[in-house]
Amino acid sequence: MAKHGKNYRGAVDSYDHAELHGTTQAVTMVKTMARAKFDETVELAVRLGVDPRKADQMVRGTVALPSGTGSDVRIAVFASGEAAQAAREAGAEFVGADDLLAEVEGGMMDFDMVIATPDLMPQVGKLGRQLGPRGLMPNPKTGTVTPDVGKAVADFKGGKVEYRTDRQGNVHVPIGKVSFEPAALAANLRAVVEELEKAKPSSAKGRYLRKITVSSTMGPGVKVDPQRVLVADEA
């Protein structure tokens, strides 16, 4: 088990781990307990009542965070011609076709997201060994395979984020920075949960929102009451 520092242990001892909180109260607590010397990312973790081993219960998509992410997302775009130019104008850090494919094959992975035009997906699909383990393979369901790569770059630069269930049925999404106001973090958190509710598979049975936790990069998790998460509350 990893050893935690004095600040983390102090934060852990400052609250009841079992208590369920309203959304605004939870993000306020996270802000209070964030004691790192950098602007920590605030992470949302949701345990869903799904079986991701079944294809029809894999929950995956995108959501636009109303308050943005507070992070600079580095994007690689596989496109050519006018689409490539549109991606560059939208702010993509890396744009190309065969040349970019060769760079990635050679180990260049200085990006956080990959977008591709449909015509280049056969070539991009060959990068499974490089992109797959990091969850970066473009997918039409998340809007990362699209002919309008310029709009996609602008959307993700502006606060759209991807979400997907892992093998245990958990979804992890960054919802902002500790420097954000509680109301901004709460709005982002609710936007993600609302989107997850919309994406609920029809085959999922029983309680869908099993567990919701919010934490900062270096801080402990605070539990959010699934029954109150979408209800406006006070800090």
Sequence spans of domains, the chain: 6-69+160-224, 75-157
Q: List strands edge to edge, sheet with 222-224.
A: 170-177, 41-48, 209-216, 222-224
Let me know: does 57 contact 202? Beta carbons within 8 Å: no
Q: Is residue 165 scored above 50 in pLDDT?
A: yes
In the predicted model, what is the mean pLDDT of the chain?
Answer: 91
CA distance 63 to 54: 23
Matching residue, tokens 């011609």: 81
The pLDDT-based confidence of 235 (bands split at 50, 70, 90) is very low
- Region of residue 33 (left: phi > 0; alpha: psi -120 to 50; beta: else): alpha
Q: What is the pTM of this model?
A: 0.81
CA distance 158 to 206: 35
CA distance 115 to 77: 5
Mean pLDDT of all residues in 216-233: 90
Mean pLDDT of all residues in 135-142: 92
CA distance 161 to 41: 14
Q: Is residue 57 scored above 50 in pLDDT?
A: yes
The pLDDT-based confidence of 1 (bands split at 50, 70, 90) is very low
How far is the CA of 234 from the CAs of 25, 126, 133, 191, 204, in angstroms? 7, 50, 40, 17, 32
pLDDT at 230: 85
Note the pLDDT tens digit of each residue in 7-18: 555 555 566 778
Note the pLDDT tens digit of each residue in 203-213: 998 999 999 99
pLDDT at 17: 73
CA distance 225 to 235: 14
Note the pLDDT tens digit of each residue in 67-113: 999 989 999 999 999 999 999 999 999 999 999 999 999 999 999 99
Q: Which tokens sit at 97?
A: 């076709």
pLDDT at 234: 52
- Region of residue 169 (left: phi > 0; alpha: psi -120 to 50; beta: else): left
Which CATH homologous superfamily contains domain 6-69+160-224? Answer: Ribosomal protein L1/L10, rRNA-binding domain (3.30.190.20)
Beta-sheet pairing, 94-96 with 75-78: parallel
CATH placement of domain 75-157: 3.40.50.790
Between the CA atoms of 4, 9, 11 and 13, what dihedral angle is there, to the nearest 10 degrees? Answer: 150
Mean pLDDT of all residues in 172-200: 96
Q: Is residue 154 scored above 70 in pLDDT?
A: yes
CA distance 133 to 196: 24
Please state, for a pLDDT cut of 90, what percent of the chain lies above it.
84
Q: Is residue 34 scored above 70 in pLDDT?
A: yes
